Amino acid sequence: EVQLVESGGGLVQPGGSLRLSCAASGFAFSSFYTAWVRQAPGKGLEWVGRISHRADNFATLYAASVRGRFIISRDDSKKSAYLEMNSLQHEDTAVYYCARENWSAFEYWGQGILVTVSS
């Protein structure tokens, strides 16, 4: 069974940092891209960014709203992806999802993890 489990969320002050993890199981993690998508409370989905697999040189891509502040990485030996978030702002408050991306389709999603930016 394909599973993605996010962790590392919580409450952080404006300007602070947080690192989310996405642990995968049930499939060949190293063969797929991993995407991050967020959803602010009561709002729609917003693509955050993604990291490709080794064959595509672990290339990363980011939404304009997070570029320069967020960094996506992965460790295939741990079947995990990471979202490092810096200079967090109130508007970054959201549930963050990781998803398995295959040919531009987000096939499987984690349950999500809440990040709250507040003083």
The identity of residue 92, as a single letter, is D
109 part of the interface to other proteins, by CB under 8 A: yes
Can you tell me which of 41, 44, 56, 68 binds other proteins, judged by CB under 8 A? 44
**Which residue, 16 or 27, is less far from other proteins as judged by CB?**
27
Can you tell me which of 72, 108, 115, 117 binds other proteins, judged by CB under 8 A? 108
Q: Which residues are CB-contacts of 71 (< 8 A; sequence separation ≥ 6)? A: 60, 83, 84, 86
Residues 61-90 that bind other proteins (CB under 8 A): 61, 63-64
Single out the residue of 102, 100, 113, 96 nearest to residue 25, CA to CA: 100
The answer for 20, left when phi > 0, alpha when psi is -120 to 50, beta otherwise, is beta
96 part of the interface to other proteins, by CB under 8 A: no
Can you tell me which of 30, 47, 86, 89 binds other proteins, judged by CB under 8 A? 47
**Which residue, 29 or 33, is less far from other proteins as judged by CB?**
33
Q: What are phi and psi of 67, to 5 degrees?
A: -60, 130
27 part of the interface to other proteins, by CB under 8 A: no
